[in-house]
Structure 1
Amino acid sequence: MTRVFPEQLSAHLNNGLRRYYLLVGNDPLLHQESQQSVLAAARLQGFNEHHSFVIDQHTDWDSLFSACQAMSLFSQRQVFTLQLPDNGPNATQAAQLVVLLSLIHDDLLLIIHASKITKAQENSAWYKALLENSLLITCHTPDHQQLPRWVQQRCRAMSLEIDDPSLRLLCYYYEGNLLALSQALERLFLLWPDGVLTLPRVEEAVYDAAVFTPYHWIDALLAGKSKRALHVLKQLQLEDHEPIILLRTLQREIMILLDVQAKPIDARRATMDKLRVWQNRRQLYTSALQRLDRIRLRQIVHHLAALEIAVKKDFSAECWPALHSLSVLICQPQFPIGLYHV
């Protein structure tokens, strides 16, 4: 199975169609645009019928199987689109998928949407049946490090010239929300026919539409980026995220830091393995441990406990300023932690 990013899909489609296309990731815009690209290429090859199915407890498998087999001399080539459940197919659905894949032939093309593929699913019979003559398209939302590259590629495709300040502003405002970002670029394309995007022009047309999760906040704290952490926290507050979830998420990370910090430096890698810390996040933990000693980490735990008690007493509104203060103190430990009180 070949793996590509959405921006690489067109080149692969120009080299001919695969029988199976597996779109995996959490970004709806990348799913939608990747599917549109496959369908457009398929129509050029005579695949003029398109049928969509959602795989759940109500799926009419008999109708799906019949559609695969209802081919005649005058039938058109067909594309089937399947949307898998968020947690993947259960045992019954997986067995039915194996049957379906056995029915796919040269006049059928299959597009499968999945939010993720687990290790267990990679070892399943239905997934292994896809390995030959398939293309996996990674449709995950770019993180803040990858997003500038995505915006630059999008601008090139739209014949837009963008300077660095404008690029940074768009990424800052629209991180995590590719749909809003693509709409902003389309709006800028219409507003400025010369295709030149400068900071004053971009500032007139954009608004803050970033979509964050608590883990964006956590990563900024671990990295010591106070400005970014406060921006993310502000957005989480505007989106009415539960403070208790933020507190417990941060508490879990601080406890991991305490566990790792307690071990000798040469044993910390094994400790992270045991605690199942992802490889791509380990540098964040290392960075945090260079700033935060054991005394500071324990103080943070005590403050988190006090904040959780305050939230449970329905003082959620007062919790947000405290979270802002705590964010600064985690990122910039030169300030004394006694500066704020719950």
Structure 2
Amino acid sequence: MRIFADKLENTLQRQLHPVYLIFGSEALLVQESQVHIEQHAKSQGFSETFRFAITAQTDWNEIFNACNSMSLFAERKILQLDLPESGVNQSISKELLNLQQVLNPDVILIVIGSKLTKAQENSKWFKALNTNGLWISCLTPDAQRLPQFVLQRCHKLGLKPDPEAVQMLAQWHEGNLLALSQSLEKLCLLYPDGVLTLIRIESALSRHNHFTAFNWIDAMLEGKAKRSQRILRELHGEGIEAVILLRTLQKELNTLMSYKQELAHKSLQQVFDQYRVWNNKRPLYTAALNRHTPRSLYSMVCTLAEAEHTAKTDYDTSVWPILTQLTLNLSMPQNA
């Protein structure tokens, strides 16, 4: 069963699962989920914790021994496995399958990893562990979900923000949940009454935006011109290299052109299935494909190529104005 990280505490109150699979790209949610599970398990008598960072040199005999020491006087254990960022190879997959077969009621297994790919979701080891376990998704809330996420965090801390304060907190901390958590803790100390307004937030906090090139791409694909320009300005202010953005955009434009070519004789669903496009990305690509023709996409590719040549050969000329224009071109209809 899969749940989002913000539902974990309520789930723990109802049932303690033998296996927890914590996966996602948001470090704060991963850490908090691990702490919640461990605290609740300890309250239920699982007093001993073993942690293993899985690498090619891991001695799996130690892990299996921790599971197999089951006796009348043995401690009930929490077994935590931190998977490598590179993912699960064939050797690790085999060991995880073997581990699933020797788990017993005196052991709670916590497996922690980065964002899952579709192939990993469908792998034998993941399905085997997820059969009797709980999968906690720790992905960063998108721009639409973030205000509700902020509001929930505020209520949990006894803070009472007005709607404008929620929007400002979400906007200032998008892409940086750790900074959001720190800011809310600071606001708790500064304002014991818990009331949050725009004036109070502006006087207490500095901005903590931390966007990535992928936030910029998603905003353009979705057709949000103002948002994509705001992210581009933030990236510029943070000192990101323009060449990195040019190459990231080049990859997306080439992808869109490939999809357009396939659409000449296939349905959009067939194209997405062929390229194994993630479900959460499909609406973004659909929106961009509906706005643009092969000709408009090719025009942007040519402009981008000229910008990259300028960035690499003419150090006195800034390519940021061109990036701004490309941002508008991709995020708006071709005839706008």
CA distance in 1 between partners of 2:199 and 2:236 (Å):
28
Displacement of 1:330: 3.9
The DSSP-based 3-state class of the residue aligned with 1:280 is coil
Deviates more, 1:307-316 or 1:28-37: 307-316
Report sequence identity in percent: 43
The DSSP-based 3-state class of the residue aligned with 1:51 is strand
1:50/1:335 CA distance change after superposition, 3 Å: same
Are 1:147 and 2:123 counterparts?
no
For residue 25 of structure 1, what is the aligned residue in structure 2? 24
For residue 185 of structure 1, what is the aligned residue in structure 2? 184
Are 1:232 and 2:231 counterparts?
yes
For residue 170 of structure 1, what is the aligned residue in structure 2? 169
Are 1:195 and 2:197 counterparts?
no
For residue 246 of structure 1, what is the aligned residue in structure 2? 245
Q: TM-score, normalised by structure 1?
A: 0.87
- Gap runs ≥5 in structure 1: 337-342
CA distance in 1 between partners of 2:126 and 2:206 (Å):
42
For residue 328 of structure 1, what is the aligned residue in structure 2? 328
The DSSP-based 3-state class of the residue aligned with 2:78 is strand
Answer yes or no: is the 8 Å Cα contact 1:256–1:275 preserved in 2: no
Answer yes or no: is the 8 Å Cα contact 1:77–1:108 preserved in 2: yes
Answer yes or no: is the 8 Å Cα contact 1:310–1:316 preserved in 2: no
1:311/1:111 CA distance change after superposition, 3 Å: same
Deviations 1:201-253 (A, max 9, x none): 11122222222222211122233323211221133234443323321222233
1:99/1:289 CA distance change after superposition, 3 Å: closer
Deviations 1:60-90 (A, max 9, x none): 2222222223344333211011101123221
1:21/1:284 CA distance change after superposition, 3 Å: closer
Deviations 1:2-54 (A, max 9, x none): 11112211222112311101101111111111111111111111111111110
Are 1:305 and 2:308 counterparts?
no
Q: TM-score, normalised by structure 2?
A: 0.88
Displacement of 1:56: 0.5
Displacement of 1:266: 8.8
Displacement of 1:185: 0.9
Amino acid at match of 2:297: L
Give the alignment's Cα RMSD to 1 decimal: 2.7
CA distance in 1 between partners of 2:96 and 2:120 (Å):
12
- Gap runs ≥5 in structure 2: none
The DSSP-based 3-state class of the residue aligned with 2:112 is strand
CA distance in 2 between partners of 1:243 and 1:305 (Å):
13
Amino acid at match of 1:249: T
Deviates more, 1:38-47 or 1:73-82: 73-82
The DSSP-based 3-state class of the residue aligned with 1:59 is coil
The DSSP-based 3-state class of the residue aligned with 2:52 is strand
Are 1:95 and 2:94 counterparts?
yes
Are 1:127 and 2:126 counterparts?
yes
Deviates more, 1:249-258 or 1:214-223: 249-258
For residue 318 of structure 1, what is the aligned residue in structure 2? 318
Deviates more, 1:116-125 or 1:164-173: 116-125
Answer yes or no: is the 8 Å Cα contact 1:224–1:331 preserved in 2: yes
Answer yes or no: is the 8 Å Cα contact 1:329–1:335 preserved in 2: no
Deviations 1:275-333 (A, max 9, x none): 55444334434444555455543332221010111122263971223312332344456
1:203/1:12 CA distance change after superposition, 3 Å: same
For residue 340 of structure 1, what is the aligned residue in structure 2? none
CA distance in 2 between partners of 1:3 and 1:316 (Å):
52
Answer yes or no: is the 8 Å Cα contact 1:230–1:324 preserved in 2: yes
CA distance in 1 between partners of 2:122 and 2:272 (Å):
26
The DSSP-based 3-state class of the residue aligned with 1:168 is helix
Answer yes or no: is the 8 Å Cα contact 2:292–2:334 preserved in 1: no
Answer yes or no: is the 8 Å Cα contact 2:159–2:188 preserved in 1: yes
Answer yes or no: is the 8 Å Cα contact 1:21–1:136 preserved in 2: yes
Deviates more, 1:2-11 or 1:92-101: 92-101
Answer yes or no: is the 8 Å Cα contact 2:296–2:334 preserved in 1: no
Displacement of 1:259: 5.0
1:97/1:166 CA distance change after superposition, 3 Å: same
Amino acid at match of 1:6: A
Amino acid at match of 1:327: T
Number of aligned residues: 335
CA distance in 1 between partners of 2:73 and 2:334 (Å):
76
CA distance in 2 between partners of 1:187 and 1:21 (Å):
32
Answer yes or no: is the 8 Å Cα contact 1:20–1:135 preserved in 2: yes
Displacement of 1:96: 1.9
